[in-house]
Amino acid sequence: MSGWHVQSVDLRGRGHVLRRLDPTGALFLGCALEAGDEQSLRARGALVFPEVPHVPVDQYRASLYTPQELYDRLATSYEDTLDARVYAWSQQEPDLDRSLAKALHDHSIDDALRDVVGGRNLVGIMGGHALARGSAPYAAAAHLAHRLAGAGLTVATGGGPGAMEAANLGAYLSTWPSSVLEEALETLAAVPGFVPSVQDWAGAAFDVLDRWPGGARSVGIPTWHYGHEPPNAFATDIAKYFKNAIREDILLHLATAGIVFLPGAAGTVQEIFQDACENYYADTSAVAPMVLVGHEHWTTTVPVWPVLQALGAGRDMGEHIHLVDTLDDAVAVLDTDPTGAGVPGRDS
């Protein structure tokens, strides 16, 4: 078994098999074992990592979350869901056990996320969490993702509400015509936001999922650091982290087809400059397009564009930063940028 990694597997009742094998050099992560079998494995050279007790998450999970798992389909109330219970646990006074459990969990999410995105061409869509359902910008973000996902790209977002939800919604419904997306937008508009009721907000999303099951895959990468913001239910694969810094870095690193930044506030600005830092120091072949949507917003309301221009001057990154006013313009930029996403009309 040298070199084996056995993760989150129930091995109870398998002691007779384990004792016939040489476990020297094997790694067991969070597996369920009979006490005698665990002692035997350790004594014969295996490295066994047990679970930290009294933790509401599987620290060694082998897959990403689904909306149904995090929300428990809202059987009772949001406060009783796995998502809410984990957030409440994470807010306790930090101690060594909780810190270790969080680190082990995030490491497992890293591994599971690599399995999901391997071989996929990811395009990031970033924007404000406060964007309301029923608004024109929300609909525009959904249609942007619908078009990009329809071109064969995998949409990735921060996994939260607002623009992030709109993008995951558009990606999910990309296997249906845009008229279906319009129907879904009309359904969701009845519950514009998660305040005052996460229950009603998420319930409306699950109504859409029930009406149009089996949509396209997209990725959401939220964090319990912002636990007051619930995850959206339209990302089919949810990599939810405890550490926000890790989550932010991974989200930007994976979007190799480029990132569209919709109008937002501090969180979106943070993502812009993290992405800019990666592009600033990147090798020429690794620079990915950055597309900021909203000239007035990014030059006057939150004037980050002049700083990006200054950073990009004379560097490879300068050719791949773009400021546009419409989502059609954003798609066109990704289609023409040499390192872009390859949307319809691009030769490949």
- For the stretch 36-60, pLDDT in tens is 999 999 999 999 998 899 999 999 9
Nearest to 117 by CA among 255, 226, 212, 211: 255
pLDDT at 247: 85
Specify whether the CB–CB gap between 114 and 65 falls below 8 A. no
Written as one string, the DSSP assignment of 209-221 is HHHS-S----EE-
- Residue 342, pLDDT above cutoff 60: no
Lowest mean pLDDT among 63-72, 152-161, 301-310, 330-339: 330-339
Tell me yes or no: is domain 118-336 CATH 3.40.50.450: yes
Distance CA 153, CA 123 (A): 7
Instruction: Give residue 154's pLDDT.
Output: 96
Give the pLDDT band of residue 347 (cuts 50, 70, 90): very low
pLDDT in tens, 71-122: 987 768 899 999 999 999 999 988 999 999 999 999 999 999 999 998 899 9
Give me the percent of the chain exceeding a pLDDT of 70. 97
- Residue 321 · residue 309 · CB < 8 Å: yes
Q: What is the pLDDT of residues 260-282, one digit of tens each?
A: 999 999 989 999 999 999 999 99
Question: Which string of b and e fits 81-107 if b means at least 16 CB within 10 Å?
Answer: bebbebbebbeeeeeeebeebbebbbe
In degrees, rounded to 5, the angle at the alpha carbon of residue 133 between the alpha carbons of residues 129 and 134 is 145
As a whole number of Å, the CA-based R_g of the chain is 22
State what percent of residues in the chain have pLDDT above 90: 83
pLDDT band for position 300 (50/70/90)? very high
The chain-wide mean pLDDT, for the chain, equals 92
* Positions of CATH 3.40.50.450 in the chain: 118-336
Q: Give the pLDDT confidence score for residue 235 in this predicted structure.
A: 98
Q: pLDDT at residue 312 above 50?
A: yes
Query: Which is higher by pLDDT, 344 or 210?
Result: 210
User: What pLDDT, on a 0 to 100 scale, did the predictor assign at position 165?
Assistant: 98
> Tell me: the pLDDT tens digits for 15-42?
999 999 999 999 999 999 999 999 999 9
Q: Is 82 in contact with 34 (CB distance < 8 Å)?
A: no
Q: Is the pLDDT of residue 296 over 70?
A: yes
Q: Check: CB of residue 142 under 8 Å from CB of residue 166.
A: yes
Report pLDDT for 39: 94
Task: Tell me what the mean pLDDT of segment 62-78 comes to.
Answer: 90
Residue 133 has a pLDDT of: 98
Query: Would you give the DSSP letter of residue 156?
Result: E
Does pLDDT of 348 surpass 80?
no
Q: Which DSSP string do the residues of 261-320 spell out, in sequence order?
A: E-S--HHHHHHHHHHHHHHHHS-GGG---EEEE-HHIIIIIS--HHHHHHHHTTSGGGGG
Assign 345 a pLDDT band (cuts: 50, 70, 90). very low
pLDDT of residue 179: 98
Q: Is the pLDDT of residue 344 over 70?
A: no
Task: With residue 336 as reference, give the H or E element that holds it.
Answer: helix 327-336
pLDDT band at 346 (very low <50, low <70, confident <90, very high): very low
Is the pLDDT at 301 greater than 80? The verdict is yes
CA distance 20 to 41: 11
Backbone angles phi, psi at 206, to 5 degrees: -70, -30
- What pLDDT score does 168 carry? 98
